[in-house]
Structure 1
Amino acid sequence: MTDQREVVVTRWPGRAASAEGELAGLLAAYHLRTQAEKGETVADADGLPDRYRAEVLDPLAAFVDGVVLVALSGDTAVGCLVVTAPVGRRCEVKRLWTDPAFRGRGIASALVSAGLAHARESGVRTVQLSVWKWRTGAIALYERLGFTVVESWDERDQLACMERAV
């Protein structure tokens, strides 16, 4: 049975500072799932490419210029999203992940909405993201939240680029 407590989104560190290990676990799950979907399965975070392993080992250092939002159920981190520092009037959202046991409860939507609000408060005009084309559920979520597919700024095959005004 999954926990049905209210889930709140907070900026990390801060109220969620004690959840660093849980945030690392969420990031590890995100990256391990992505590697598996790309056909490059690794056993654990130690097998991740260096740049992704660095995020898992030290999220605070990896995202020092951005903002990490964490969804909490009680004191348990159940989802995360990173908003990069603005460049010009643009920023990017990335690393959206919800613990599978907590999916279907609007957590991803709440995280993205909080990320958009943060971007707006930071003076950003456009929020970008990239998502693997096979993640059709994520693409549908982003479209429901007003993102549209745009010409790719990334050369990786199977990656869809999206953006929306804030």
Structure 2
Amino acid sequence: MNDGRGFSVVQPAAHTLSAVDGLSALLVDYHLRTESEKGRPVADAAALPDRYRLETEDPDHAFADARVLVALEEGGTAAGCLVVTAPVDGLVEIKRLWTDPASRGRGAASALLDAALAHAARSGAHTVRLSVWRWRTGAISLYERFGFAVTESWDERAELVCMERAVAGGSRPSRPDRHVGEGS
């Protein structure tokens, strides 16, 4: 899928994630930034907690039961990524949405979300959920534009905002129903 902004969204074939140019670097950047924002900065990928380091070193194994979508620049380098879990009882979860800071503002995240929602519909899911750190206000706004609404938390971590939306129809409402902080 090409969005006309210089990149396309692809789902790499099984066992080829490690070969996607720039994907590991995106995952490293995501985890290093997240650990720093949580107040636990680490020097490099080798110092990440084991489960996160595995994602950066062997994404094929770490995401074996999920779909990984990658936004590629025209030259084939990863500009963004997103993971969609396999459906369980009609529910899929979006994880690891991240775009290269140099590529932001060009629609990569929106294209990845569009592709993830289309995948969720094809997989028979009726609900898509995600969690996002409270301080990532830009991401929260993006999710709200896509029709995600804050919901009761399923995660014990206090700083996570849990959001979900129905898959049916696949269209985004023009205005979010609820903003972070309302009714909380």
Bucket of the pairwise TM-score, normalised by the shorter protein: over 0.9
Match of 1:26 in 2: 26
TM-score (norm 2): 0.84
TM-score (norm 1): 0.93
Contact 1:19 1:76 in 2 (8 A): no
Which structure 2 residues correspond to residues 134-149 of structure 1 after superposition, within 5 A?
A: 134-149=135-150
Residue type at the aligned position of 1:149? V
Q: 1:73 to 1:155 in 2, by over 3 A?
A: same
Show structure 2 runs of 5+ residues with no match.
168-184
CA distance in 1, matches of 2:112, 2:43: 28
Q: Which protein has the bigger helix share?
A: 1
Is 1:87 the counterpart of 2:95? The answer is no
Match of 1:48 in 2: 48
Match of 2:99 in 1: 98
Match of 1:126 in 2: 127
Match of 1:151 in 2: 152
Match of 2:41, SS state, is: coil
Root-mean-square deviation (Å): 1.6
Show structure 1 runs of 5+ residues with no match.
none
Who wins on radius of gyration, i.e. which is larger? 2
Residue type at the aligned position of 2:37? E
Match of 2:22, SS state, is: helix
Number of aligned residue pairs: give it. 162
- Percent of paired sites with the same residue: 64
Contact 1:19 1:77 in 2 (8 A): no
Contact 2:130 2:163 in 1 (8 A): yes
Match of 1:12, SS state, is: coil
Residue type at the aligned position of 2:72? L
Instruction: Quote how far apart the aligned CAs of 1:69 are.
Output: 0.1
CA distance in 1, matches of 2:150, 2:17: 35
Residue type at the aligned position of 1:90? L
Instruction: Please list the CA deviations of residues 30-54 of structure 1 after superposition, one character each: whole Å capped at 9, or x if unmatched.
Output: 0000001011111111111111001
Match of 1:46, SS state, is: helix
Match of 1:63 in 2: 63
CA distance in 2, matches of 1:19, 1:119: 25
